[in-house]
Amino acid sequence: MQSYTIGQAARLLGVSPDTARRWADAGRITTHRDEGGRRLVDGRDLAAFSVELARSGGTDDDTAYTSVRNAFAGIVTAIKLGDVAAQVEIQAGPHRLVSLLTREAVEELGLEVGMEATARVKSTNVHIDKT
């Protein structure tokens, strides 16, 4: 059976390695150590945990966890939906941010004009978090 390091597990779960370590320390993820002392997660355990995490909505509270920096909390001011793509505009203080994403992502997030959202900018990509 394949095992994953905490860093690999974190990447697959979409969280930071620190979050994955905290979950392991709290017993949410079962780990074992290899000969070198590295903490590993069994592939089957990780698969089951990822399904549980998705069903529960992620974390134990409503706090969103992401490794992306440069968060701009604001309000959705416009949404333009195409057949496949979408454009979302957020006004965050003096900053107007525009993100191109899939229509499915906008619908999944339940984004609407007037709702609070956070744009997370990393390099040339803008990520949208429902807040």
Q: What pLDDT score was predicted for residue 67?
A: 57
Query: The whole model's pTM is what?
Result: 0.47
CA 53 to CA 81: how far, in whole Å? 29
Residues with Cβ within 8 Å of 116's Cβ and at least 6 positions away in sequence, in order, are 73, 74, 75, 76, 131
Residue 122 neighbours by CB distance under 10 Å: 12
CA 67 to CA 106: how far, in whole Å? 21
What is the chain's pLDDT, residue by residue, as a tens digit (131 residues)?
A: 688 899 988 888 878 899 999 999 999 999 999 999 999 998 888 888 887 877 776 554 445 555 556 888 888 889 999 999 999 998 887 788 899 999 999 999 999 888 888 888 877 777 778 76
- Tokens 């590993």, residue located: 40
* DSSP structure class, residue 17: H
